[in-house]
Amino acid sequence: MKNLFTAIAALLLLHFTATAQVPQSISYQAIAFNTSGAPVTNSNVSVRISILDNSATGTSIYTETHTKTTNAQGLFNLNIGQGTALSGTFATINWSLNTKFLKVELDPNGGSNYTSVGTNQLMSVPYALAAGSIASNVSIAEQIRTEPKTNFGYQDSDNHTLFAYSAKTGTWASQSYSPQVASQSIQHHNGHFYFDDFQNNIYYIFNGKAGTWHSQSYAVPQGYPLSNLSIDTVTDNFWFQNYYNNTFNVFNINTNTWSSQAYTLQGGSYPPNLKFLNGDMAFQDSDAYKMYAYSAKTGTWTSQSYNNTTNNMYISLSTSGGVFNFRNMEENKLYIFNSVTGTWSSQAYNLQGGVYPPSFIISIMK
């Protein structure tokens, strides 16, 4: 069975403990997991910490060990620089020379059989040690609160529940699922977790920014294909096309909502093609004489009808100029979708000499 993390422990928080003087230590908090992906609760664990110089594979300039007891959630705390030193001296580390990397190893059984959890670059916070003081107008705790980036999750396969932690909100949220999902890999992307409860035909998404779970059901009768849940890498929005009920469905990370748009089969047989542009989406429903566009900014679909009384006028959706647009030569109109407001606008034009449409000038703002 695959779990959310193959690592045994995961870093939750790294910060300085503020005192009257600059402390020669770094606070570290983590959740310990065993090799099955379950938290190691109310037990002694051994932790080996190394400070590496210049790269993730650089020379270790300081190494220490700790023995800590986890709580009922598997959480433990320690102060880097106050453990049992194996090599080097924490107080003499030159933080201003080269970049520094933190390597963490763990034995969930409390022994010395360490397994690597991972190596991460130490960013701006630890370098306050090099300055010898903390700026009075910049709270380190405030920096951590305003720039949380690391989310965590684990799968409780016995209780068929997925737990996810949002660093943005500082809260855990759980989502139950059918037993069949226990053997399926939970996926993640940029702090968001998602999976398919295929037994109940439901997609579940954990919004890492909002710290909440959201679901969207889908219908898949026998013989009907369903495209998998996909991610728009520009916006981190999730989307899928349900071929059975002929809809496009989008989950917007910023608005924290699902939005769906129905379409008609072109010629009674073929679904329209979905186009992408800078995180926005659009498609042409030629049988219904409509253009549909989705604004990632507003999280809504908006339609624009057009005339095609003879049904032989060629009208197609374009992305010229970095926006969705189309021209209807039957109406002599240009239609443009504004993705910021989520609205369509049109402008009529005259045929030059009664025959030719004008040449449109495109100018892109920076």
CATH for the stretch 9-146: 2.60.40
Give the pLDDT confidence of 289-311 residue by residue, as tens digits: 999 999 999 999 999 999 887 66
Decide: 15 and 144 in contact? Cβ < 8 Å. Answer: yes
Give the pLDDT confidence of 239-261 residue by residue, as tens digits: 999 988 899 999 999 999 999 99
Q: What gap in Å lies between CA 236 and CA 5, rounded to an integer?
A: 21
At 207 the pLDDT is 96
Phi, psi for residue 127 in degrees, rounded to 5: -75, 0
- The residue written with tokens 């107080």 in the block is 91
Q: What gap in Å lies between CA 29 and CA 197, rounded to an integer?
A: 32
- The residue written with tokens 């809504």 in the block is 300
Low-confidence stretches of the chain (pLDDT beneath 70): 1-24, 123-148, 182-185, 222-226, 310-312, 366
Q: What gap in Å lies between CA 4 and CA 120, rounded to an integer?
A: 19
- C-beta atoms surrounding 18 within 10 Å: 13
Give burial (CB, 10 Å; 0-12/13-18/19+) of 16: buried
At 203 the pLDDT is 93
At 223 the pLDDT is 62
One-letter-per-residue 3-state SS of the chain: CCCCCCCCEEEEEEECCCCCCCCCCEEEEEEEECCCCCECCCCEEEEEEEEEECCCCCCEEEEEEEEEECCCCCEEEEEECCCEEEECCHHHCCCCCCCEEEEEEEECCCCCCCEEEEEEECCCHHHHHHHCCCCCCCCHHHHHHHCCCCCEEEEECCCCEEEEEECCCCEEEEEECCHHHHHCCCEEECCEEEEEECCCCEEEEEECCCCEEEEEECCCCCCCCECCCEEECCCCEEEEEECCCCEEEEEECCCCEEEEEECCCECCCECCCCEEECCEEEEEECCCCEEEEEECCCCEEEEEECCCCCCCCCCCCECHHHCCEEEECCCCEEEEEECCCCEEEEEECCCECCCECCCCCCCCCC
- The residue written with tokens 């609160």 in the block is 145
Query: Of 358, 355, 313, 320, whose CA–CA distance to 337 is shortest?
Result: 320
Q: What gap in Å lies between CA 60 and CA 162, rounded to an integer?
A: 37
At 125 the pLDDT is 44
User: Measured between alpha carbons, how far is residue 189 from residues 52, 232, 237, 257, 323 in Å?
Assistant: 28, 11, 10, 18, 27
- The residue written with tokens 């965590």 in the block is 152
At 4 the pLDDT is 34
Residues 6+ apart with CB under 8 A from 146: none
**C-alpha dihedral, 48 to 53 to 57 to 61, nearest 10°:** -40
Decide: 322 and 278 in contact? Cβ < 8 Å. Answer: yes
The domain spans of the chain are 9-146, 152-348
At 311 the pLDDT is 62
At 134 the pLDDT is 38
Phi, psi for residue 130 in degrees, rounded to 5: -70, -35
Distance of CA 238 to the CA centre of its chain: 10
Decide: 246 and 271 in contact? Cβ < 8 Å. Answer: yes
At 336 the pLDDT is 96
